A and B are shown apart, each in its own frame.
Chain A
Amino acid sequence: MKTAAFPELASMAFRNLGRHRVKTAVTVTAVAISVALYIFIDGWLLGMNLDSKRNIVAFEAGAARIQSKAWFAKKDELPMYESFGGHEALSARLDEAGFDTAPRFLFEGTLLSRERSAPIAFIAMDPGREAKLLRWQDYVASGRAPVPGRFEIALGSMAAGKLRVDLPARPDAAEFEAMLAAAADADEAVFVRGLYLDAPPDRVAPAEFRRLKPVLAAMPGGKDVLRAYELPWDGDAWRLRKDARPAAFGELAAALRAAGFDFQPRHTLRPDASRTDRDRLWAILAASGRMDVRISTVIDIKELPARVDASKFEAELLPALRSDDRALASRAYPADPASGDRALAEADPGRRDRLLRAMLDAGFAPAVRHVNQLIDAVVVGTVDSPNPKTNGNVAYMPSDALQDEAGMMLEGRITELLVRAKGADDTALPDPGESPRAVKAALGGALPAGLEVYGWLDGVEDYIAASRGDEVSTRVMVGLLFVLSFIGIANTMLMAILERSKETGMLRALGMTGGQVLAVYVMEAAAIGLLGSAIGVAAGCLVNVPMVAYGIDYSGMLENMGTDYGYRVVAFFRSAWNPPVIAASALVATLVSGLMAIPPTLRALKVPVTESLRFE
């Protein structure tokens, strides 16, 4: 093809676009929707993942964590018997190398409030060192963070709500009366009453609402009540709108009562209550015992069993051990001549340790003993951070209070040591200088055998699974949309080329080469792709602007999903800009569109010119 003919060929291609306006418009729209959707979905996924990763680092994991390999292998069980001591030496070394560290001991238990109970993951930590590395203490929504040396708990806000160890947002009549009774004197009672607004009922039965409607419509302020309620799709009851203004609750409640509707008083914590007021209310409720809790748990202790049943020794333990450990076990547990049972006779500490390790690695249950423990504590604050994991069934406690038999018999042992570079930016993900390899290098061989440095993503499989799953499914969905668009382009071009068979034959008879004909059609298809891409990019970016700035409020949905949906994002899912993907999606759509014209054109070019000229 001569280069000089290119402008003319391009001109022909663009003129052809105008000749088939409807088909061109439909195809351009399909491409535009695909590109816009791809940009939207990609930006949304990127935003959610970026926020999630930042929140994992800032609220859960730091940049790296040192754990025992045995603990990591069984981390879903939170095996407290796989804890380790001597972490202060590691912390000192890392401190010199420019890292902050936060020791933690994780365990499970049941938290019992005065009214309810819930399974909770407890994090025993050093509040001061934790604050240097993680940010959850900045998000203590009510009350305060726990103080070292005390049996105090900062509890995830959702768990606190379920257990009723928080500031009640909407107490019922009985709970409100109990709160007033908790006041030490009349002044406090007035203060408590003043913090709550008289709220209209959440639900009104349809029959009652029908009766009230004409009365409310005729009375001053009644229309505000009618506007404040909505009937959801299930038609079960009229419900107070979520966006109803609490400031107007008093008038709404008064209007309903004036209309003759008798309802149980319900109160709402003033949305404008100051931090000082909330703290005072917390202190009043805490003094009444509302925040007192008990932790029911077990302390798992690894220990060589003194005796092992003969059958259990032979059938369960020995087959699970390596051959050299089998010999060690047989020597350490000689058979009792009378019963055949095995009694521990090994005294050498080294061999005992090795055998215990072998039993634990083999999952031999009698090597772990469970001691019942019940600890009295008090909830001093609730955590409501941007990372839902901190807001669920999680409790933070000072580890120094749990060191002896009144606590968890920690005796200086921890299950993990979190690591982050000093002064690291919260909004930035860890850089290579904070990688496990870098932390290991900073320790310079001081890492004891059995311990390992893990990356911040190593312990968040739930997030990785959710992220990968969503990424694959949404990209497949959008990919299918793309395929459909391209099929549309292919179809449009096929029809156009078939319809123009006579015209193609004439052009070829007049001396146009096959390559030039092909170029015209490819350019025509590519122009459709380019137009669609341009519109798609513009639309995608327009949608992305508010998505990046404000996001979508998923709080209603998340209330039902709890805190275990993988992503570490609360309420607002925000998008992020991804310029390379935006440019690539436009380029790919244009290129693929152009390529779609090749097969039908080649087919048309195979037909002899004389036959093309006879085509009707």
Chain B
Amino acid sequence: MKRTIAACALAALLAIPALAQDAAAILAHVDSNEGYSSISYKGTMTIEYRGKRFVKTFESVARGRNESWVEFTNPEDRGTRYLKRDGRLYVWSPDTEEVMLISGHLLKESMMGSDLSYEDTIDSETLSARYVPALKGTEDVDGRKAYVLELIARKKTESYPKQVLWVDAETLSVLRFELYALSGARLKDYRLVRSELIGGRFFPVEFEMRDLLRKGSRTVFAMREVQLDVPLPDSAFSMRRLEQ
């Protein structure tokens, strides 16, 4: 009996680091799955808010996690451009014909009326670098087995101190995640609608975001003509292009 208890205790002790290692490995896979050297795509952002529906279309290119370019093409917002480089986010609006730096509390504002804030678009570091993951078990998400990862920020200055991820056990795609405030209150929800096998990895091409502080609001992002790891010139991310 004593031997059985000792064996169970040993197994439990061994299981803790093993589970932790699994969580870190899963998160590393998530990072690599969503990482790319470059991307080019055309996108649609469908915003539903207070019973109204707004559809915005855009074209985007990005290089690594630090450089990206978005230009809106729908009639209402045509010509509005965003440039992220050197960890900063700039916007050029055809109304003002001026480049504006989005910084400080402005980063908390909704991007183009969507459920995404500017800040959500400028994180440069990987999740593994910013969070300590813990595997909380498995759950069923829309009929798929998913690992539940709880991520606690490594530093108390992280924008979202806690995240919970549901990672597809088969493809290691993020099926769902939740973002939390410091108090532990849930702020935002993400759900994967569709992913595609691109370049040997499952890449999210359609997903839904909900800002839980905006009642009756959701935003669906859909990407098409996605090209990963294509060469992009430096001029694609230049201030000159933003101001043209």
Contacts and interface: CB of A to CB of B under 8 A. Distances in A.
Contact of B159 (A294, A315, A372, A409): A372
B204 interface: no
A373 B183 contact: yes
Interface in A95-119: 108, 110, 112, 117
A316 B90 CA distance: 15
Interface in B19-44: none
B156 A301 contact: yes
Interface in B130-167: 155-161
B182 A405 contact: yes
Given A371-B157, A405-B183, A309 B66 contact: yes
Contacts of A296: 213
B105 A370 contact: yes
A373 B160 CA distance: 9
Contacts of A315: 86
B87 A309 contact: yes
A312 B86 contact: yes
A371 B159 contact: yes
B119 to A, nearest CB: 7
A358 to B, nearest CB: 18
Contacts of A368: 104
Contacts of B187: 372, 374
Nearest to A408: B182
B104 A112 contact: no
Interface string A519-558: 0000000000000000000000000000000000000000
A369 B123 CA distance: 12
Given A296-B213, A309-B86, A372 B181 contact: yes
Contacts of A112: 213
B107 interface: yes
Given A370-B159, A374-B213, A311 B86 contact: yes
Contacts of B104: 77, 365, 368, 370
Contact of A108 (B105, B107, B213): B105
B108 interface: yes
B182 A372 contact: yes
Contacts of A294: 185, 213
Contacts of A299: 182
Contacts of A117: 213
B5 to A, nearest CB: 38
Interface string A298-318: 110101000001011001100
B233 to A, nearest CB: 17
B161 A298 contact: no
A375 B183 contact: yes
Contacts of A77: 104-105
Interface in B203-224: 213
Interface residues of A, number: 31
A406 B180 CA distance: 12
B227 interface: no
A260 B55 CA distance: 48
Interface string A391-417: 000000000000001110100000000
B181 A374 contact: yes
B182 A369 contact: no
A406 B183 contact: yes
A298 B108 contact: yes
Interface string B183-201: 1010100000000000000
A371 B105 contact: no
B74 interface: no
B185 A374 contact: yes
A315 B239 CA distance: 14
A371 B158 contact: yes
Nearest to A114: B215
Contacts of B179: 372
A303 B161 CA distance: 16
Given A77-B104, A298-B105, A309-B87, A369 B181 contact: no
B238 interface: no
Nearest to A316: B86
Interface in A349-402: 365-366, 368-376
A370 to B, nearest CB: 6
A301 B187 CA distance: 20
A112 B211 CA distance: 13
Interface of B: 66, 86-88, 103-105, 107-108, 119, 155-161, 179, 181-183, 185, 187, 213
29 contacts: A77-B105, A294-B213, A298-B105, A298-B108, A299-B182, A303-B155, A309-B66, A309-B87, A311-B86, A312-B86, A316-B86, A365-B88, A365-B103, A369-B158, A370-B107, A370-B119, A371-B156, A371-B157, A372-B108, A372-B159, A372-B181, A373-B181, A373-B182, A374-B181, A374-B185, A374-B213, A375-B183, A375-B185, A409-B156
Given A309-B86, A372-B161, A405-B183, 19 more contacts: A77-B105, A117-B213, A294-B185, A312-B86, A312-B87, A315-B86, A316-B86, A365-B104, A370-B105, A370-B159, A371-B159, A371-B161, A371-B182, A372-B181, A373-B182, A374-B181, A374-B185, A375-B183, A375-B185
Interface of A: 77, 108, 110, 112, 117, 294, 296, 298-299, 301, 303, 309, 311-312, 315-316, 365-366, 368-376, 405-407, 409
Q: Would you list the 4 A-B pairs with minimal beta carbon distance, nearest first?
A: A369-B157, A374-B185, A374-B181, A312-B86
